[in-house]
Each structure stands twice: as structure tokens, then as C-alpha cells.
Structure 1
């Protein structure tokens, strides 16, 4: 096999491989010898079929298989000979005009990982912002939880419904006098003022009494999820079955026992642990962002365009899904298009930081052990139906790229933790509001009382920029807040607003080590 390097430009490489007809035929001969003992043909004893007949029957398939195996071996040889580190799986092209029995000319094109100088991890300085968890915060959390478990009890029969009350109704909806699917239901509980139903529905229940019959006139929103009902005027004939008022919730030992706990103190202990976990997560998010900012500022190197393109496509697809859920899809997509290059810059940053963290991890022997990997696989498998979980496990075991992608987030976290241990860290206590504001701040500054900054010269912006700085924020993630629809009464529900969040910073990307070429079957 003859190999010639035809392109060496930046991170791009191309090679021309010539696989001689003799090499291919030699592989076919080896295959014929290997399968001959198992070939069965009328008129011949088992294992005694002549080689020329085997070639006549299976020659085309054997030649194609031999060529593909030669290509695979050729790619591996190129990677080894030139000491390449492929960023993605090499592309393989068989020259036009190839015919069986002739030499095959193959072009192997790939991008390689950049040579990164061993990153220095000395001199990292980080501030750890912590939040004290006091009794007031714990009680506030318990009160919030209790409000979500609101109980209602029957009101006096003469009670007129008011905001905060619960009204139990039967209803029948119609548009233009014609009933529509999902517009009829019984015993629906409506909390007045909750905002769960379409605009105007709950307001018209104020003042109703037990046994009242009433017609409510409403208009479905323009962004209502049912196409035929968008913007339509509708009537709902209702019958009031019951009026209920919110029961007072006393936060005491009995309340805790209603939750299956021994006492209020036990509930406080659980809530305190939960709050501290939330605070620790915020602290880590801020520290990780500042760490990655330092690494990004200190390292600048070319990254493989194919990895950037894959990262960008992932970001862009996610953002387009978000835009498609907006009321004005065209406007949302137009706004998104304005920021295309900024999101491409985010993709470049994410790929660069992913490679950098991988390099730091390898240089310092950071590893994901087998037990941790098994736990990751089993956790991921739970997302599938029981009958499909074993197939998923086998897929991860057989596909190195899929396994690397599954392992990557944990690997990054372990590298980040390693860097935290090496960094010079100072602690400062702040409020939760200050820490959350620091995480959201475009420049990463810690603002607020006790933040240590002089704000006398700060200009207050008229409006916070919508775009995310490539060096400061990860791409916006879709929250996948599905539009709510009740199980029995979809027609009366309003479309839930989509919630957007910006969080994190760098994608956990690790280059695939798999370098096998795509099969290039010869033309017949």
C-alpha cells in the first residue's frame, strides 16, 4: 500500500492511499481458504468445493469486503505512521472509475486535534461565594412548601366565591353555538386567581354561589395550542357544584407528621439540607464559570472546524426549537438569526475549553473509573423502557464514541474539582440574591450590598442585553416547559408560557478516539 500526504494545512490533513489489486486479491484468497471448510455445494463433499467455484459464487462480495478491510487497515496505518490524533472520524472516498481487479485509489481526509502546550494550572485564584442557611430561610422554605399543599374545605352554603376560593363546576363550552372537543367536563376544581385558565374565565366566577348556573363569555388567546380555537370567542355554560375556602395550614409537629415525618424539627432538618444543596450548587456554578473564564483567557489555539460545526448545530437546533414555541415564530427566528455569529463564537469557546479540560485531565491522570462508568450507564438506561435498557447497555459497551459522550460530563466535573483543589480560593459570605445576580451578570461581577465594589461610577443600563457573551455564558437551554393541558378539560386551560434559562458554561465535549473509516464498497 502506497501512502502520500496531499494536504497539511492548519488542522486539516489529506492522504492518498493506493491499494494494489494484488493486495486485494491476497485478502480474497485468505477469505476463500477461511470459508472453504464451511461451504456446502451439491455434488461435493463438505469442505471439498474447489476454490474457483467459491470465487465464482461469492467473488463480488468477497472483493468488496476485502477492499473495505484494506481501507480500514490503511486508515489505521496512516494514523499510526503520521502520529495523528483525529478530531472526528476520517472521511474516506474511493476514486471514480474503480473496477474489480485494478488498483484502488483512496482519499482519506480528516481534521486533527491541535497540539496544546501542557496547560499551566499554577496561579489560579478563585473566590468562593457562600450563603449562610439560617432559621428564617428554613421556615420560608417550609412555608412555601406548605402553600403548595394548600387544602380546601367546604364553605357555608350562602358563601359567595371570592379570589383565593376554590369553585367546583360542571361546564359545557361552545364556539358559535357548536360544542368542541374537550370543552365539556364535570367536577372541575378552579382556584379563582390562580391564572390556570384562559383569561377572563376565573374572574367571572367571583360572586357565584352554590347551585348557580351561569354562562361565561371568553376569548381563546391567539397562542392557544389548539389551532381551531385560537382567537375564537367562546361560551361556557357552568353549574356551581361547591364553594370551598382555603384551610389554614399550621406548621407544627402535626403538619410534619402528615408528611410522614416524626416532628417539625425533622422537617426543618430536611429542608435545611435541601437549601444547603441548592446553595452549594450556586456556589459551584459561579466558581466554575470564573475558572473557565481564566482558562479561556489564558489559552488561545485553533480548534477543528468540524467539531465547532457539530457543536454549533447542536446549539442552533436547540435555539430553533425554542423559537418555534414562541407566539410570533417568525419574529423569534429573525431575532435568533441576528445572533448567529455570536452563538458560533460560543461553540468555538465550548470546543476549545472541552479540549483544554481534556488535556489537563490526561496530563494529571484524572480518570473515570469502571464503577463510576457503570453507574452512569445504569442511570442513563433508566430513561428507556424496561425492555430496551439492556440493548442500550450493550450499545454503550460496543460504541466507543457513545461511551465517551456519556462519560464526558462526569469527566469534566472531575477535572474541574481537580483544578479547584489546585486553586488559591478565598471565601466570602453573601446573600442568595447577590450570588444569583453574579451568576447572571454578563461580566461576572459580584454586585450588591457587601460585594466589595464601588458602584458610584456605574451607569445603569436602560435594558439588559438579550445576547449572551460567548466568554461568559453557555447557550440558552430550552426548559421544555410543555404547554399545560388538564387531563379532562383541555379547552379551558390557557397555553403555558415557555420558560428560558441561561446556565452553565462549557459543553462537556471529548474528541472521539474512534478512527475507523466509513465503508467504501467498490462499484459494480
Structure 2
């Protein structure tokens, strides 16, 4: 095998590889001899098929397999021998001339191809001891816990039948059939449906028209589906619901006690308060983590400036911009609605993509030097979490990750990033600062430097 570097510009490398026809022939002969004892061809005894006949029958397909093996193995081995690391999967360039390909497959011509890739940049890690960050901490007040407990307890509130007209807060039990242009539509029919008036869980205007209704009443409720309604066939359409009110019930006085907690599946009111506090603290803890991480990454960003692999930056930019466009589409907005232009947005998100790639490389290098590892158990847990997001498709999703190393790498990357951040937080100066809930939850003006 002959290897020659033809391009070395910045991080870009192009390597020309030539596999002599004699080497291809040697590999083919090895394959033929291995297959000779196993070949089963009509008219020949097992193990007695002449090599010439075997070559005539299988030579071309075997050479194609040899070529594919060379293309799969050579880029990795060549780059490793050069003590380099490719930023992304190398690109292979071969001749598209059919005649030349036939000569190679026939063992009559050398096999030539080029390997194009960008190296991961080399840079020196800097001391992190001087980095200081403030960890914003919110002290959860008892009132907030109690308010949340009351909201949760509403789910366990009991209702008592009433013969009076329905009021806000009352629970009505309904049968209904929804129609558009006089025709019933899918999903618009229900029986014994409970609805708490004022909860705003139904289409706007539906609940208001049931105020004053009594058990046994039949009403025609006219509504208009919102323009952004999830079902496109109903969005913006006028509809009529033929409603039968089967019962009206008034909420009983809500008393916070152990019985309410038990109806919620928790052994006592005190335990309910503890669970609620833990949930609130967990929510604030996530926000605190993001604030601390942002400060840390901002500090690192100031310390590093080096050439980046263009393809890696482009791939990151494409991911970011596709997400931005999808979010705008889902919200029915344009760049102009966000007081910008697509061109300006592209410039801004390209800067973000470069920052993400640069910081990703820095964190990766730090993690490698620190010996940060992701265990098999952690990867399995991440995979199972991903699979559970697609109920009914678990097997297909699991097989997808089994067959796609790049997809598995996409699960590993955020886990590794968080573990490196955890390690860094033990090496820098972190001080706690008590803040209000509003200060903690205030969104940063710029998006987080790395995807979490």
C-alpha cells in the first residue's frame, strides 16, 4: 500500500492511497483458497473445485468485498499511523469511471482513492484554578410549598351533587357529540365526561355556555376551534356540540389532612409536603445547575481560541438552525416576527455553533486528561430513557441504536459533558449566593453554550 499526503492546509488533510494490483491479487488468492474447501458447486466434489473455476464464478464478487474492506479499514489505520484524530468520518473519493472500476475488480489495475478529513486541533489546556462562579440558591419558603400542596390537593377534592345551575368550579358530567358542517368528526364524541367549569381544559367558549345548566339539560354549544389547533382538519373551523348534562356537582370544602394525602396515594399530609418541597427544590436545582454551568463555560470560552474543523462547525450549525426553524414553524412565526432576518439569524447561530464546537473540544480534552469515563450502566440507562420516549416503537428504536454507532455517540456526548462539568466544579472556586425565585428563573439573554 502506498500512502501520500497531497493536501495539508490548516486542519484539512487529503491522503492519496494506492493499493497495487499485486496486493489485490494476493488478497483474492487468499480468499479463493479459504473458499475452496467450503465451496459446493454442481458437478464438483466438495473441496475439489478448481481455483480457476472458483475465480470465474466468484472472483468479481470477492474482489468487491476486498475493496469494501479496504475502504472501511484503511482510513482509520492511516490516520492512526499519522498520530492524528479525524474530527468527523473521513470522506472517500474514488474514480467514477466504469471501465477503470472493471479493471480494478478484474485485478488488472491498481486501486486508487483519496481520504479527505479534518484533524482535531491541538491546543494546550489552561489552569482552571482561577475561575470563580457564583451558585445562585433559592430558599424555598413554606408558603410556596403550601400553595403547591393545595393545588395538588385539588385533584382529591370531593364533589356533592346539586340541583342548582352549574357555577364556576362545579363539576359537570356530560355526553356530547361534536359536529362540523353537520357531520360528526373523529374524537368529538364522549360519554360520562367530567369537566370542571373554569378549568379551561376545553375549547375556548365551551365551558362558559354551560354556566347555569342543570342535570338533564340538553344544549347546543357553538364554538370555533383555534387557528393553531393540533388537528389540521379542525383548526379554525366552526363546530357545534350537542351536549347532554347528566349531573352537576359542587366542590366540597377542601381540608388539608391525611385523608386527602391518602386519596392522592401518599401516606400522610406531612409526607405530601415533603414530596412537594423536594420537587420544588429539584426544579430550582436544575436552574441553579444551568446558571453555574453557563458561568463556567463563559469563563472557559474566554481562555480558548483555536482553529476549528469547518465540517464539524457546519454540522453543529445545521443542527441548531434546523431546530430554530422547526420551533418557528411550530409557533407559526417568522424571523421577522422575532425582529430579525434569516441572514442575521444565520450569522448569530454560526457564532453559537463555533462556540459549542470549541467548548466541546475543550471539555473533551479535559475529560480525557482527567480520566472521566461513562460506564456501560450509564449508557444503558441513557438508552432505555431514550427508548421509553417512543411507546410502541421500543424494539425498532433499540435496534436503531444497536446498528448506528453515531446515534449511540449522540447519547454519550451529553452524559460525558455533564460528568466533565461535575469534575471541573470540584477544581474551581464556587460560592453560594442566595437569590429570589425570579432572579434564578430569569432566562439568559443568550442560549446556553452547549446543548444539555
- Pair in the same fold by TM > 0.5: yes
Change (3 A) 1:18 1:348: same
The residue correspondences of 1:195-274 to structure 2 (distance < 5 A) are 195-274=200-279
Mark the CA change 1:344 to 1:103 in structure 2 (over 3 Å): closer, same or farther.
Answer: same
Of the candidates 421, 433, 438, which is equivalent to residue 416 of structure 1? 421
Q: Match of 1:110, SS? A: strand
CA distance in 1, matches of 2:181, 2:311: 56
2:126–2:303 Cα contact (<8 Å) kept: no
How far apart are 1:290 and its partner, in Å?
Answer: 0.6
Deviations 1:288-341 (A, max 9, x none): 111011111211222222222222222223233323323467977996735222
CA RMSD of aligned residues (A): 2.8
Decide which of 291, 298, 317 is 2:296's aligned counterpart.
Answer: 291
Measured after TM superposition, the shift of residue 86 of structure 1 is 0.5
User: Does 1:507 pair with 2:451?
Assistant: yes
How far apart are 1:177 and its partner, in Å? 4.2
Partner of 2:9: 9
Count residues with an aligned counterpart: 444
Q: Deviations over 1:501-523 (max 9, x none)?
A: xxxx4136xxxxxxxxxxxxxxx
Which residue in 2 is equivalent to 1:161? 166
Aligned position for 1:372: 378
Instruction: Write the deviation string for residues 38-72 of structure 1: whole angstroms up to 9, x where unpaired.
Output: 11233433212111111111111112122233334
Structure 1 residues 116 and 258: alpha-carbon distance in aligned structure 2, compared to 1, 3 A threshold? same
Q: Hey, what's the Cα distance between the residues in 1 that align with 2:31 and 2:222?
A: 80
Q: Which of these residues, 136, 158, 163, is aligned with residue 143 of structure 2? A: 136
Change (3 A) 1:229 1:378: closer
**2:110 maps to what in 1?**
103
Cross-structure match for 1:392: 398
In the aligned structure 1, how far is the partner of 2:287 from the partner of 2:297? Answer: 15
Deviations 1:449-507 (A, max 9, x none): xxxxxxxxxxxxxxxxxxxx3xxx13xxxxxxxxxxxxxxxxxxxxxxxxxxxxxx413
Measured in 2, the distance between the counterparts of 1:352 and 1:314 equals 16
Does 1:120 pair with 2:127? yes
**Equivalent pair of 2:153/2:261 in contact (CA under 8 Å):** no
Q: Summarize the alignment of residues 297-308 of structure 1 with structure 2, pairs less than 5 Å apart.
A: 297-308=302-313
Q: Which has the higher contact order (CA 8 A, sep 6+)?
A: 1
> d(CA) in 2 for partners of 1:258 and 1:107?
69
Deviation at 1:250, TM superposition (A): 0.9
Relative to 1, partners in 2 of residues 1:334 and 1:41: Cα closer, same or farther, differing over 3 Å?
A: farther
TM-score w.r.t. the length of structure 1 is 0.77
TM-score, L = length of structure 2? 0.89
**Superimposed CA distance per residue, residues 230-254 of structure 1 (whole angstroms, 9 cap, x where no aligned partner):** 4333333333222122222211122
Cα distance change of structure 1 residues 40 and 11 upon mapping to structure 2, 3 Å threshold: same
Query: What's the secondary structure of 1:325's corresponding residue?
Result: helix
Match of 1:71 in 2: 71
C-alpha displacement at 1:399, in angstroms? Answer: 5.4
CA drift at 1:382: 4.5
For structure 2, the 5+ residue unaligned runs are none
Pairwise CA distance, 1:420: 0.5
* Whole-angstrom distance in 2 between the partners of 1:326 and 1:312: 21
- Give the structure 1 partner of residue 29 of structure 2: 29
Q: Shift of the alpha carbon at 1:381?
A: 4.7
SS at 2:214 equivalent: coil
